[in-house]
Structure 1
Amino acid sequence: MSERAWSPVSGPAGGPRVPARLPVRKDLSRGAGARPAAGGVDVERATRLQAEMTARAGRLKAWFGGVNPYVLDTLLALASAAVSAWAVFCDNRGWPWWVYLLAVSTAFSLPWRRRFPGGAFLASGIPALALSIVAHSAQPQVELYGVIGIYTLANLGRDWQRWSMLAVLVVANILGTHSVNGMLFSLLMSVGSFVFGSVVREVRRLAQLERERAHEVGLRAASDAARAVAEERGRIAREMHDILAHAVSLMVIQAEAGPVVVRSDPDRAVKAFDAIADSGRDAMVQLRRVLGVLKEEGTGPVLAPQPKLAELAAVVERVRQAGIEVELELAGLDLPGQRTIPADVEAAAYRIVQEALTNTVKHSGADYAVVRVARTAMALEVEVADNGLGVTADPSKAVAASSGGRGLIGIRERAAACGGRAVTGPGAAGEGFLVSAELPLGA
């Protein structure tokens, strides 16, 4: 590229390419301080759900937590045995002792019903069947052992055990009773116990699903929060890099030039030191802007506005003071009837130009650069080109691409954060270095 020649290009042939459009979380790219949306996860609902489940578990523990289940089931077994023995005694037929033993044995397995629901049901059902055959009238009106056993198997048993039990109960109640009223009552007791146990089983299953869902939501919320923190740290790192790299590069160049001319050209030396001071003050203002978002919530930091494209003139002027002639062209930014450029797009364009000029000052060896920012109907186009070393065949001279690596990555990240793209590489005819970005203005 000649000293004064400039030909806008959209990107060098064979140069770097990035995806045309990347999906980006706009709430994170526009600034810090806002609570992330967590990818659609309702963090407050997850927290509330976990608190409700903890409260329910606490109430259940308060009601039953102090009672050993074996003690409770043993008391139920004693009550069932007493009811069965009392029914035999009240039958007034003078049943022998072994009938009493048979009636009481129906409750022997109840203390182990939770651990072995199927086995406990069979251990109660066999003596109950024998009692029904040899002393049908001596059975209690409400068979407590049967109600407990059916409920337990319906609640805790395996599916094949539950449905097999239900089928056997229905057939036995229909064929084993001596009257229609007795059949209906037996069906009501057995099927009702089965239904009640099934309802408790389903409630427990739903509660487990809610606990798992709450745990999963909590994990997702924590993951999204960690990802949001990482993205925000990356955003702040890019801001810090752009501010400090630009300011320090200009300060170093001016500081090196000042002592050389302090005797031969005092006015130029004074201007160099003034430029150092101006760069330092500008860097401090921008650092306060970035670091202000890290203050604790509620402290009310007063933040300066995001950088504007109108401020590029000051950036260009500081680069000129560093000895590089820069031409700035701003096209179509303030036409009547246009809506305002989004703040994140304007800030990204400012930083891209700033970083490109920083690389030009630090690495290119150029004495001339052109900055063009043009607004089209759908996008903001940014191009920065210089006449420096660019990307050459000599690796030691390819400073623009290698030494400025972090800055070029930051340029591409900033463009992607706005849903756009950035291309960096050789300028026209392979001379100099070009940074070209296209930032969509949104709907």
Structure 2
Amino acid sequence: MTMPFVVPRAPELPDATWTAYGLTSLMVLPLVVRSRAPVAVFLAVLTAGALYVFTVDGPGQPLPYTGLVAFYTVAELSSPPKRLGSALLTAVAVLFSVGLGSDELRELFFSLFAFAAAYAFGRFTVTRRACLRAVEDRARQLELTNRIEAEQAAARERARIAREMHDILSHAVSLMIVQAEAGPVAVRTAPERAEAAFDAISETGRDAMVQLRRILGVLRENEGPPEAPREPQPALAGLPGLVERVRGSGPAVSYEVTGHPRPPGPAVETTVYRIVQEALTNVVRHADATTVRILLDHGPEALTLTVTDDGRGPGGGAGLGLVGIRERAAAHGGTARTGAGPNGRGFRVRVTIPRTRHEREPRQEPGTKTVTEQRTGAES
């Protein structure tokens, strides 16, 4: 608004006065606080402009820039009633200003268009700010969701590793304790049995170390070379060897496979192996049993594992081992039931893992028996 006071004017036009210069300054200075009081600043700018037009014969401007800025701020920060009142007041001011000036329709439309554009830009700023807030909120929510999912995944992984460590150490240490306790007695009565007991302790310890190294290697997989070899997880083929190691600790263990064996998948095979391992560990540590029967039934709809012993029967049922058995079965959509054995004697673990639809598809070939039975161990 001060450009006419800086650039020399035509000789036929009146010179700019200090009064006119002061009024133009009054039209600009209120814009400093326009964010705090947009309507008050807008009224102040209109009042200063009216005083300039009616009291001072100063240089004019093609557009009232301060009025456009003030009206933009009202559109951006004010409530709907205040915006409506300011818009009506602006239309009246434009009509009077054009009527006192050139009184041309073209100038009237141009001025109304300019103020409408200022109002539209003000509302667009509000919409843009709301969109940015929504995007930021979604980003924060996504970050929170990702963090929660990462924490849950870490918790599941810690629980899985804890189960693996518990199964490996509990089974190995239990067998080693039983063999170590029997060793001194065997040294005095049957030296050859003592030697076998110490061999069993050594073999059990080496097997536990191998499995622990495998788990620790997985935990440190990012530190080693990507081509480092990894041993496979235990599977159903390893159950006979597990049974043989436990049989050397005292109880007579039998292992039977019935039904039509079909590979249930590596994850399920590892789960079954770990459940058998934990069940046998409980037998060695707590049951004081003489016989244990392991039955693995490959049914058409589910894989069923039953481990039954003739020991002292169920205890509290709240040990970490039994909890781990239930968690392993639930991870594959299965169930695990534990309790007293037949006729209330001993203890029985029964785990049912449903087959997937792909596993349930019939794949029997000509000449294949519908029932296959494998027996390993002592016959009672």
How far apart are 1:93 and its partner, in Å?
5.8
How far apart are 1:234 and its partner, in Å?
0.9
- Please identify the structure whose Cα radius of gyration is greater: 2
Q: 1:141 aligns to what SS in structure 2?
A: coil
**CA–CA distance in structure 1, aligned partners of residues 113 and 58 of structure 2:** 19
Q: Is the 8 A contact 2:20 2:58 kept in 1?
A: no
Q: Is the 8 A contact 1:84 1:103 kept in 2?
A: no
Which amino acid letter does the alignment assign opposite residue 62 of structure 2? Q
Cα pair distance change 1:422/1:168, threshold 3 Å: farther
Residue matched to 1:304: 231
Residue matched to 2:152: 227
**CA–CA distance in structure 2, aligned partners of residues 109 and 85 of structure 1:** 20
Cα pair distance change 1:303/1:127, threshold 3 Å: same
Cα pair distance change 1:267/1:167, threshold 3 Å: farther
Choose between structure 1 and 2 for higher RCO, CA contacts under 8 A separated by at least 6 residues: 1
Q: What TM-score do you get using the length of structure 2 for normalisation?
A: 0.83
Which amino acid letter does the alignment assign opposite residue 291 of structure 1? L
How far apart are 1:273 and its partner, in Å?
1.2
Residue matched to 2:188: 263
Q: Give unmatched runs, 5+ long, in structure 1.
A: 1-79, 392-397
Counterpart check, 1:378 vs 2:301: yes
Residue matched to 2:65: 144
**CA–CA distance in structure 2, aligned partners of residues 248 and 117 of structure 1:** 79
Residues 188-337 of structure 1: pairs in structure 2 closer than 5 A: 188-297=113-222, 299=224, 300=226, 301-332=228-259, 334=261
Counterpart check, 1:121 vs 2:46: no
Q: Is the 8 A contact 2:14 2:58 kept in 1?
A: no
CA offset digits 1:122-169 (Å, max 9, x no partner): 221222244455679964211110122122233344444344433443
Counterpart check, 1:437 vs 2:362: no
Q: 1:166 aligns with which of 87, 90, 94?
A: 87
Q: Is the 8 A contact 1:312 1:350 kept in 2?
A: yes
CA offset digits 1:248-282 (Å, max 9, x no partner): 10111011111101132122111111111111111
CA offset digits 1:93-128 (Å, max 9, x no partner): 678865554443221201222333332222212222
Residue matched to 1:412: 326
How far apart are 1:219 and its partner, in Å?
2.3
Q: Is the 8 A contact 2:71 2:118 kept in 1?
A: yes
**CA–CA distance in structure 2, aligned partners of residues 381 and 359 of structure 1:** 19
Residue matched to 1:68: none
Q: Is the 8 A contact 1:421 1:437 kept in 2?
A: yes
Residue matched to 1:351: 274
CA offset digits 1:168-208 (Å, max 9, x no partner): 43454356633321221111211111222322332233223
Residue matched to 2:362: none
More displaced, 114-123 or 353-362?
114-123
Counterpart check, 1:424 vs 2:338: yes
Residue matched to 2:107: 182
Q: 1:370 aligns to what SS in structure 2?
A: strand
Cα pair distance change 1:369/1:187, threshold 3 Å: same
Q: What TM-score do you get using the length of structure 1 for normalisation?
A: 0.72
**CA–CA distance in structure 2, aligned partners of residues 224 and 349 of structure 1:** 28
Q: Is the 8 A contact 1:345 1:441 kept in 2?
A: no
CA offset digits 1:350-407 (Å, max 9, x no partner): 111110111111111111111111122232111111111113xxxxxx36x35xx110
Which amino acid letter does the alignment assign opposite residue 341 of structure 2? G
Cα pair distance change 1:323/1:420, threshold 3 Å: same
Residues 61-76 of structure 1: pairs in structure 2 closer than 5 A: none
Cα pair distance change 1:103/1:359, threshold 3 Å: same
Q: 2:189 aligns to what SS in structure 1?
A: coil
**CA–CA distance in structure 2, aligned partners of residues 250 and 352 of structure 1:** 16
CA offset digits 1:271-319 (Å, max 9, x no partner): 1111111111111111112111111426234221111111111111111
Q: 2:292 aligns to what SS in structure 1?
A: strand
**CA–CA distance in structure 1, aligned partners of residues 124 and 95 of structure 2:** 24
Q: Give unmatched runs, 5+ long, in structure 2.
A: 358-380
Residue matched to 1:106: 27
More displaced, 303-312 or 178-187?
178-187
Residue matched to 2:375: none
Which amino acid letter does the alignment assign opposite residue 328 of structure 1? Y
Q: Is the 8 A contact 1:371 1:385 kept in 2?
A: yes
Cα pair distance change 1:422/1:184, threshold 3 Å: same
**CA–CA distance in structure 1, aligned partners of residues 140 and 75 of structure 2:** 28
More displaced, 183-192 or 169-178?
169-178
What RMSD in Å do the two structures reach over aligned CA positions? 2.7
**CA–CA distance in structure 2, aligned partners of residues 136 and 440 of structure 1:** 95
